[in-house]
Amino acid sequence: MEIIIKGGYVYDPLNGVKGEKLDIGIKDGKIVDPSKLDERSAKVIDASGKVVMPGGVDLHSHIAGAKVNVGRLLRPEDHYVSFIKAITGVKRSGSGKTTPTVATIGYKYARMGWTTVIEPATPPLKTRHTHEELNDIPILDKACFPLVDSNWFVLDYLSKGEIEKCAAFIAWLLNALKGYALKLVDPGVAELWSLGKGYGLDFDDEIPSFGITPREIVTGLCKVNKMLKLPHSIHLHCNRLGIPGNYSTTLETMKALEGMGDGISVHVTHAQFNSYKGDNWPALRSAASEIADYVNGHRHVSIDIGQIMFGGATTM
């Protein structure tokens, strides 16, 4: 089968194409020069005003696992808002809008042009079920990032400076869980949260039970990540998310990883929530420009925005 996609804005980072208006030819499932195809017999798709890109990769979307199921239980009404009828031999049924069922997730992502989606936060003890759900999501390629930010073995090894032992444990954990990369959420906070504390823990605040700071957790696991040559940088939800004035913590976190080696050392996720100025809620304002200026000027850090969408939401 021959297809010509005409007049779209093409983005192909691997080949250095950045929004050029081009035609794309496809023959027998492969990209070819469109001038070599017969437009009279080919299927022509008018992509005017649209983006044409290789399969999209969403490296941070909560699509499977324990917390998503808690969201489904908390929002039974959500499953009456949107539903898909099954067609035997074609597609499965599904429901839900902000906490959709697994089949719905696969179908809706595929319709938007995404081919790979990552579940970015799976607790090690719950990861078996995370994989069971990932396996049931149709069409998409999937992976998951195990949570390691407050793991007692990790904190113990890092507090003693035993990087190689920490690396050995992380290697075992990733192999046992079939995880793809390391996820850190508010490094150290879960340990304090278990004691009824932790809100507002800053980058250089000490975690008393281990005598370690979030700075030491992040830099130590970055060293482990490079030691193991993992395929993705550490995936970091910075400390003090959603708190006025937290942009300074975000900047300090990114600066702490300067000079850690070649390539990207850290991916800061949903950065919008960590880009706030002000010392109280009435004084809250955006520091997005400061964060963007830093990221654009340094090669060791990448971000995703974590943009706010209008309408209902279920916060994970």
Question: 213 near 242, Cβ under 8 Å?
Answer: no
Q: Classify 199 in phi/psi space as left (phi over 0), alpha (psi -120 to 50) or beta.
A: beta
pLDDT at position 263 over 80: no
pLDDT tens sequence across 203-235: 999 999 999 999 999 999 999 999 999 999 999
The DSSP element (H or E) to which 12 belongs, if any, is strand 2-12
Instruction: Please tell me the predicted confidence (pLDDT) of residue 48.
Output: 96
Closest CA to 122 of 133, 111, 136, 107: 133
Question: What one-letter code names the amino acid at 57?
Answer: V
**Separation between Cα atoms, residue 76 and residue 67, nearest integer Å:** 15
- Dihedral, 8, 12, 16, 18 alpha carbons, nearest 10: 40
**Separation between Cα atoms, residue 1 and residue 6, nearest integer Å:** 16
315: helix, coil or strand? coil
Closest CA to 121 of 205, 193, 177: 177
Cα→Cα distances 222→148, 225, 289, Å: 12, 5, 26
Instruction: Please tell me the predicted confidence (pLDDT) of residue 306.
Output: 87
Cα→Cα distances 287→27, 127, 130, 174, 278, Å: 47, 35, 35, 35, 9
Residues in the chain: 316
171: burial class by Cβ within 10 Å (0-12, 13-18, 19+)?
Answer: middle
Residue 114 pLDDT grade (very low, low, confident, very high; cuts 50, 70, 90)? very high
Mean pLDDT of the chain: 94
pLDDT tens sequence across 267-287: 999 999 999 999 999 999 999
Mean pLDDT of 228-247: 96
Cα→Cα distances 93→39, 73, 233, 249, Å: 37, 18, 36, 44
Question: 144 near 118, Cβ under 8 Å?
Answer: yes
Q: Which residues contact 34 (CB under 8 A, 6 or more apart)?
A: 4, 6, 23, 24, 25
Which backbone phi and psi does 234 adopt, to 5 degrees?
Answer: -60, 140
Q: What percent of the chain has pLDDT over 90?
A: 87
Question: 49 near 10, Cβ under 8 Å?
Answer: no
Residue 265 pLDDT grade (very low, low, confident, very high; cuts 50, 70, 90)? confident
**Separation between Cα atoms, residue 286 and residue 307, nearest integer Å:** 13
262: helix, coil or strand? coil
Q: What is the pTM of this model?
A: 0.90
Question: What one-letter code names the amino acid at 315?
Answer: T
Domains of the chain as residue ranges with CATH: 2-52 (2.30.40.10), 147-303 (no CATH)
Residue 30 pLDDT grade (very low, low, confident, very high; cuts 50, 70, 90)? very high
Instruction: Please tell me the predicted confidence (pLDDT) of residue 47.
Output: 97
**Separation between Cα atoms, residue 51 and residue 7, nearest integer Å:** 9
